[in-house]
């Protein structure tokens, strides 16, 4: 009798518990669908981004095959790891336009590798082996504080912010190598595919089989004073929806002086190969200056591309805009 009573009571309790737990689940489900979790957007720390640019420049020019290049690669990998990213270094030998073999290192840092929704953020980290826009020491490498250093500096600060304020979506940060070792314009039989060798290699051989991201954002020369970022042609052709998303966000949070609503011609940069080879819609945030001969920043491929031209207001506009986009996904 006692035992049957216990069993009967247990059955009743079990049915009651099962019923309550179903109700509970339904209520929880309802709450989740009614109130989506809104993530607070962290504040981009521009001093921190600046210090990551300084650190790269302190190594010296980061030309493939040099000791400085090797040392900077180690710094980038350990820093991404310190900020909680799982890292992959993709190494290969690629051929410069004049036949020189270059030891390429694409450096990849991933957050939430298991997440299906992913955003790709990228910049090149190598610096040019020539100062072909300069009038002195043309055959010596440039420091590349803006051209190379600035995009990487902003992305390292974003990596640090992701560690402090975790995201649910996946983010892959890629520092492409051998972007800036291409054939100078105007040389005989100019080969436009001699640039961006790291991103060309990665687009054909991504670090993970069947890798895909919803979209990509490339940063190149994002620290010039009063920089104007226009709707560049390749970005517009392959990913105008993403240009809209980023430009609208930049303008909404007060940076309409930087994110200019003007269409300008396409350029050869890492995003061209990401769009055309691996088909991830990718935009380029890159300065457009219509007062220079090649429409790039006036210190482009000159020895004056050093820490003196790094402008914190511009860095902050770009860094905060990209953070806002990420945390609103
Ligand atoms: Zn360059």
pLDDT in tens, 225-266: 999 999 999 999 999 999 999 999 999 999 999 999 999 999
The pLDDT assigned to 103 comes to 98
Q: How many angstroms is it from 250 CA to the middle of ligand 1? A: 24
Tell me how far the alpha carbon of residue 327 lies from the centroid of ligand 1, in angstroms: 30
68 and 130 fall within a common domain = yes
Q: Whole domain around residue 22: which residue ranges?
A: 1-36
* Least confident among 30-44, 168-182, 308-322: 30-44
Give the residue, 252 or 192, on which the prediction is more confident.
252
232 vs 93: CA distance, rounded Å: 31
* Statement: residue 36 has pLDDT above 80: no
Q: What is the mean predicted confidence (pLDDT) over 3-28?
A: 45
Same domain, yes or no: 50 and 164: yes
Using the predicted structure, report yes or no on whether residue 45 has a pLDDT greater than 50: yes
CA–centroid distance, 125 to ligand 1, in Å, is 10
Q: State yes or no: pLDDT of 94 exceeds 90.
A: yes
In the chain, count of helices (H) and strands (E)?
Answer: 8, 8
What's the pLDDT score for residue 35?
54
Q: Count up the domains in the chain and report the number.
A: 2
- Of residues 245 and 37, more confidently modeled: 245
* pLDDT more than 70, % of the chain: 88
pLDDT band at 187 (very low <50, low <70, confident <90, very high): confident
Q: Distances from the Cα of 257 to the Cαs of 78, 261, 262, 265, 309, in angstroms? A: 35, 10, 12, 20, 18
pLDDT of 37: 62
Residues 13 and 150 in one domain: no
Q: Domain check: are 147 and 11 in the same one?
A: no
Residue 25 pLDDT: 45
Q: Do 93 and 49 have their domain in common?
A: yes
| 145 and 7 in a common domain | no
Same domain, yes or no: 20 and 95: no
Q: What is the mean pLDDT of the chain?
A: 91
Shared domain for 7 and 76, answered yes or no, is: no
Is the per-residue pLDDT at 328 higher than 80?
A: yes
292 CA → ligand 1 middle, Å: 15
- Structural Rg of the chain based on CA atoms: 24
Confirm if 301 and 183 have CB atoms less than 8 A apart.
no
Query: Is the domain of 146 the same as that of 199?
Result: yes
pLDDT average, residue stretch 17-37: 48
What are the tens digits of pLDDT across the range 104-142? Answer: 999 999 999 999 999 999 999 999 999 999 999 999 999
Predicted pLDDT of residue 39: 78
Segment 303-314 shows an average pLDDT of 98
CATH code of the domain containing 261: 3.40.630.10
Q: Distance, CA 285 to ligand 1 centroid (Å)?
A: 14
Measured in Å, residue 67 CA sits from the centre of ligand 1 at 20
Most confident of 8-12, 26-30, 32-36, 135-139: 135-139
Are residues 69 and 30 located together in one domain of the fold? no
For residue 300, how far is its CA from the centre of ligand 1 (angstroms)? Answer: 7
Whole-number Å distance, alpha carbon 263 to ligand 1 midpoint, is 21
Give 16's pLDDT tier (boundaries 50, 70, 90): very low
How far is Cα 28 from Cα 35, in angstroms, rounded to an integer?
11
The mean pLDDT of 22-29, rounded to a whole number, is 46
Location of structure tokens 């991201």: 213
Cα 323 to ligand 1 centroid, rounded to whole Å? 25
What pLDDT sits at residue 112?
Answer: 98
Q: Confidence class of residue 189 from pLDDT cuts 50, 70 and 90? A: confident
Please report the sign of the dihedral spanned by the C-alpha atoms of residue 141, residue 264, residue 284, residue 270: negative
The tokens describing 142, both together, are 């440039």
Pairing of strands 229-232, 259-264: parallel
Instruction: Give the end-to-end CA distance of the chain in Å, rounded to a whole number.
Output: 61
pLDDT of residue 26: 47
Shared-domain flag, residues 32 and 142: no
94 backbone dihedrals φ, ψ, rounded to 5° = -120, 160
2, 137: one domain = no
């Amino acid at each position: 009798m006692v035992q049957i009573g216990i069993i009967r009571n247990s059955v009743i309790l079990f049915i009651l518990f099962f019923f309550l737990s179903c109700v509970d689940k339904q209520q929880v489900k309802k709450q989740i669908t009614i109130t989506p979790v809104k993530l607070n957007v962290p504040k981009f720390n521009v001093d921190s981004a600046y210090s990551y640019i300084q650190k790269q420049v302190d190594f010296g020019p980061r030309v493939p095959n040099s000791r400085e290049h090797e040392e900077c690669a180690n710094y980038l990998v350990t820093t991404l790891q310190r900020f909680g990213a799982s890292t992959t270094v993709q190494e290969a030998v690629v051929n410069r336009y004049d036949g020189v073999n270059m030891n390429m290192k694409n450096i990849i840092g991933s957050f939430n590798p298991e997440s299906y929704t992913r955003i790709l953020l990228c910049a090149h980290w190598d610096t040019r082996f020539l100062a072909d826009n300069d009038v002195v020491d043309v055959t010596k490498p440039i420091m590349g504080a803006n051209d190379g250093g600035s995009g990487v500096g902003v992305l390292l600060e974003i990596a640090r912010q992701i560690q402090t304020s975790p995201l649910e979506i996946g983010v892959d940060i890629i520092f492409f190598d051998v972007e800036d070792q291409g054939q100078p314009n105007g040389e005989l039989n100019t080969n436009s595919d001699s640039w961006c060798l790291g991103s060309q290699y990665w687009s054909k051989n991504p670090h993970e089989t069947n890798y895909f991201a919803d979209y990509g954002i490339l940063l190149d020369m994002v620290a010039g004073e009063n920089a104007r970022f226009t709707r560049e042609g390749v970005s517009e052709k392959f990913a105008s929806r993403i240009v809209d998303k980023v430009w609208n966000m930049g303008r909404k949070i007060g940076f309409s002086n930087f994110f200019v609503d003007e269409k300008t011609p396409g350029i050869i940069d890492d995003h061209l190969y990401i769009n055309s080879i691996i088909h991830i819609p990718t935009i380029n945030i890159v300065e457009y200056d219509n007062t220079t001969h090649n429409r790039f920043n006036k210190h482009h491929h000159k020895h004056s591309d050093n820490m003196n031209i790094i402008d914190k207001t511009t860095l902050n506009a770009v860094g905060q805009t990209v953070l806002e986009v990420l945390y609103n996904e």
